[in-house]
Structure 1
């Protein structure tokens, strides 16, 4: 005798119902799964996505919005202060980005959030020194308001004092120009712009003092200034640098008539 086939007594599930259950299961998995999304608009942190919510690395979230973490206040200042110390001690070209990371104690991501690379950092460093230098120089010039001949001498006096007391090895702007020979390097452009501005100020003051040849006097004083920085760095603060103001005074007296200096 052939046994009759066994028939299951369990209720059958219709195909539409199975498809609906599968869709609900997939939707649940989508809501709970987290995956990396795009970089945030300021490229500071990657966005994590969970369903309709955008979550950044500091775990804050808002429905339908992207929340990004801002850089820690003081990070840029910390980097620039460390950069100024290292560049001043070793020279800009000798210091790598990894050394700056190690000295600051910051991660590479923090460094590259503030600066796109070494060239950008050099440019920012020189630009900050430019602002600091002119702030001090303007104060020295302002002490002799109304006397352009005396203001010319004040510029050299300030340079001599700075060269003799500074820990820097020579003039940062001349040094940077020497280290980066490419005229299109952003750091060199910043340094040359500073020196050009100094030359223009000397020329303007020489003209205001009614020098016989303002351009020649300005250029001669530029040579005195560059020379005093070089001598202070190589021969020390008690060497020829101490004669800088005397040399500048002689040049000023030769190019500006006595009656013009007195008026």
Structure 2
């Protein structure tokens, strides 16, 4: 997702606020970060902050939507790089998850983290999480149809669950093994359903 730029080519104030919030939310947890912390990080006034985000929930939604856009772009880039060949797309995605889980400051999946902090399934934050997960599952279903999978929906559910486990494993376990383990386990699921 391309950030909105101001006339001078710099990120817009809205983007600066989202970027600061993203860093803080991911590192410290969403509920642990107050609007005041974001305001201080950006170096703006409360009036400026609340002009762009009247509520913290709106900022959280913008943060998650931005992350969803980034992930959609990464999956689309993988699909283009693999010329649409599903098995190659899965390898690229597994390598991407492995690389991300090895990056400094990795704390797991931002969507899983947000869902853990917001128990109410009707809350706007959970709605963004749900929409992103539905997109991800639908994208997997679309890709595995070409592989001759017999029960596309069940296989996609299992691959999503495997991805979730890989993200948690990258945070709590040995991130160096995530890419290969994820790819191998995904191939086993697809073979089972073929």
Report the TM-score when normalising by structure 2. 0.86
Name the SS for the 1:231 alignment partner.
helix
Shift of 1:122: 0.3
Name the SS for the 1:238 alignment partner.
helix
Deviation string for 1:196-249 (max 9, x for gaps)? 110111112122322121112111111110000001111141356651111112
Deviation string for 1:74-110 (max 9, x for gaps)? 2112111110110111011110111111121100000
* Match among 128, 131, 135 for residue 190 of structure 1: 128
Higher relative contact order (CA 8 A, sep 6+): 2
Measure, in 1, the Cα distance between the counterparts of 2:148 and 2:104.
33
Measure, in 1, the Cα distance between the counterparts of 2:66 and 2:77.
17
Q: Name whichever of 142-151 and 125-134 sits farther off.
A: 142-151
Aligned runs of 1:130-149 on 2, under 5 Å?
Answer: 130-149=68-87
CA-based RMSD of the aligned residues comes to: 2.0
Aligned runs of 1:1-263 on 2, under 5 Å?
Answer: 74-165=12-103, 167-238=105-176, 242-256=180-194
Q: Call closer, same or farther: CA 1:142–1:110 in 2, change over 3 Å.
A: same
Measure, in 2, the Cα distance between the counterparts of 1:93 and 1:105.
21
Q: Call closer, same or farther: CA 1:166–1:128 in 2, change over 3 Å.
A: farther
Q: Runs of 5+ in structure 1 lacking a partner?
A: 1-71, 257-263
Deviation string for 1:21-66 (max 9, x for gaps)? xxxxxxxxxxxxxxxxxxxxxxxxxxxxxxxxxxxxxxxxxxxxxx
Structure ranking higher in strand proportion:
1
Deviation string for 1:167-206 (max 9, x for gaps)? 3300001111111111122122111211111011111212
Between structure 1 and structure 2, the one with the greater Rg is 1
Measure, in 1, the Cα distance between the counterparts of 2:110 and 2:103.
14
Q: Call closer, same or farther: CA 1:150–1:242 in 2, change over 3 Å.
A: closer
Structure ranking higher in helix proportion:
2
Q: Runs of 5+ in structure 2 lacking a partner?
A: 1-9
Aligned residues: 185
